[in-house]
């Protein structure tokens, strides 16, 4: 499996999705309770990669995961969340570089979307499992975002009472919610109720 450095926005999206599966975000309900949930997570996020092969490789690794791998993936969420929560540039670079420790060096590879063009990619070490693959993806996502967009793109969710966090890779950089479809709607409903409750 290879993670292209140009694919950092996708990789950062995987990191955001991963940290927002925790029981802390879902009020006691861990969204990665078993390996079936891990497979569903890998299918969902793998399918969003623009790079042919990366998503399939991620999904394949998830299907081979046992209890120990699932545990390692769940444990990975803590250090990734720590980086998003305290986004100082040096810390982000050191922490995310450590996350890419499961990679085996950078290589120039062809860009499937642009024939004749090449880009940097980091390969996953031989024999690595889904936890190491996700660690590499998160590391690349964080490093790519720091380089291209800056450390102010690491933020807590703006919805009241939501404990989620996200990496904003949108062009204008005005994303407000960890899960825009869900937290954005919740925030709108709360605003609406507050307006209605106010005496006019
Ligand atoms: Zn949220």
Per-residue pLDDT of 60-77, as tens digits, reads 999 999 999 999 999 999
**Centroid of ligand 1 to alpha carbon of 176 (angstroms):** 8
Full domain range(s) for residue 130: 2-197
Q: Please tell me the predicted confidence (pLDDT) of residue 200.
A: 55
**Centroid of ligand 1 to alpha carbon of 150 (angstroms):** 21
Q: Please tell me the predicted confidence (pLDDT) of residue 190.
A: 73
**Centroid of ligand 1 to alpha carbon of 163 (angstroms):** 6
Average pLDDT of the chain is: 92
Q: Please tell me the predicted confidence (pLDDT) of residue 156.
A: 97
**Centroid of ligand 1 to alpha carbon of 106 (angstroms):** 34
- Give per-residue pLDDT as tens, 154-170: 999 999 889 999 999 99
Domain count across the chain: 1
Name the band, by pLDDT with cuts 50, 70 and 90, for residue 185: confident
**Centroid of ligand 1 to alpha carbon of 20 (angstroms):** 8
Q: Please tell me the predicted confidence (pLDDT) of residue 155.
A: 97
The domain that holds 86 is classified in CATH as 1.10.3300.10
**Centroid of ligand 1 to alpha carbon of 155 (angstroms):** 11
- Give per-residue pLDDT as tens, 78-127: 999 999 999 999 999 999 999 999 899 888 988 777 888 888 999 999 99
**Centroid of ligand 1 to alpha carbon of 159 (angstroms):** 6
The percentage of the chain sitting over the pLDDT mark of 90, rounded to a whole number, equals: 74
**Centroid of ligand 1 to alpha carbon of 48 (angstroms):** 20
Check if the beta carbon of residue 140 is closer than 8 Å to that of residue 5: yes
Check if the beta carbon of residue 148 is closer than 8 Å to that of residue 171: no
Q: Please tell me the predicted confidence (pLDDT) of residue 95.
A: 98
**C-alpha angle 19-38-159 in degrees, rounded to nearest 5:** 30
The dihedral through the CA atoms of 53, 117, 103, 133 has a sign that is negative
């Amino acid at each position: 499996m290879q993670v292209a450095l140009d694919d950092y926005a996708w990789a950062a999206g995987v990191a955001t999705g991963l940290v927002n599966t925790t029981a802390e975000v879902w009020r006691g309900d861990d969204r990665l309770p078993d390996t079936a949930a891990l497979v569903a997570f890998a299918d969902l996020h793998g399918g969003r990669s623009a790079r042919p092969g990366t998503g399939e490789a991620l999904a394949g690794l998830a299907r081979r995961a046992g209890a120990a791998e699932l545990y390692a993936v769940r444990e990975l969420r803590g250090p990734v969340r720590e980086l998003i929560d305290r986004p100082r540039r040096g810390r982000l670079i050191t922490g995310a570089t450590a996350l890419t420790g499961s990679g085996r060096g950078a290589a120039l590879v062809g860009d499937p979307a642009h024939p004749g063009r090449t880009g940097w990619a980091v390969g996953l070490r031989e024999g690595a499992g889904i936890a190491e693959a996700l660690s590499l993806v998160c590391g690349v996502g964080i490093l790519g975002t720091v380089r291209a967009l800056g450390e102010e793109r690491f933020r807590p969710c703006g919805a009241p009472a939501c404990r989620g966090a996200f990496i904003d890779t949108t062009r204008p950089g005005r994303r407000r919610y960890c899960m825009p479809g869900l937290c954005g709607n919740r925030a709108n409903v709360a605003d609406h109720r507050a307006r209605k409750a106010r005496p006019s």
